[in-house]
Amino acid sequence: MVANKNYKGELSVDNFRDKGEKGLPGAPGGKGKAGTVCDCGRYRKVVGQLDISVARLKSSMKFVKNVIAGIRETDEKFYYIVQEEKNYRESLTHCRIRGGMLAMPKDEVVNTLIADYVAKSGFFRVFIGVNDLEREGQYVFTDNTPLQNYSNWKEGEPSDPYSHEDCVEMLSSGRWNDTECHLTMYFVCEFVKKKK
């Protein structure tokens, strides 16, 4: 006989039981199926490609979120402010990868539209698609057209035509200022509307 303890850990007379005899051993079980060799390298590659796709989707979602947050348009183009601080070259690349260009305000209507957009968004300055990177003192739009018909320089600007201020920012007033290209700030992309 074996004495058992009750739930409080005390010995109880009611908890004595006889232990039965050990049973006979059973028949051995059947043989299992053979295992397969894992082709893990292929799966790792697929998982790696999925990681890249997820990263691209996240980037695209951020882009869409920015666009939904605010966009301006004319009859021919869409404009939107990218709320990620980048230097000038990164800004150019960001817009191009998405099928656009850094915004080029080539007339007063577009310049006013962008300036109003910047001011209403609560920003002070943004990069626009104007620079003199190729030839010092000769500013061009990012499509390499010269500033012949329109510019909107702040009084006294461009102030440093023979230094390192080769890129252009638009202030919330709509005025342009030459600035250093390595600085980071928000920027405006433009996209040509597709003809129907």
pLDDT digit string, tens, across residues 147-172: 988 999 999 888 765 568 899 999 99
**2 found inside a domain:** no
Give the pLDDT score at 9: 52
Strand partners, 190: 79, 101
Residue 120 lies in a domain: yes
pTM of the model: 0.64
pLDDT in tens, 89-148: 999 999 999 999 999 999 999 999 999 999 999 999 999 999 999 988 899 999 999 998
Q: How far is CA 139 from CA 1, 35, 57, 136, in A?
A: 103, 70, 36, 8
* Structure-token pair, residue 164: 């390192």
CATH for 156 = 3.10.100.10
State the burial class of residue 35 (Cβ atoms within 10 Å of its Cβ: 0-12, 13-18, 19+). exposed
H helix runs in 26-181, sequence order: 40-69, 88-97, 108-120
Q: Which two tokens stand for residue 30?
A: 């059947």
pLDDT at 91: 97
Do both 53 and 79 map to the same domain? no
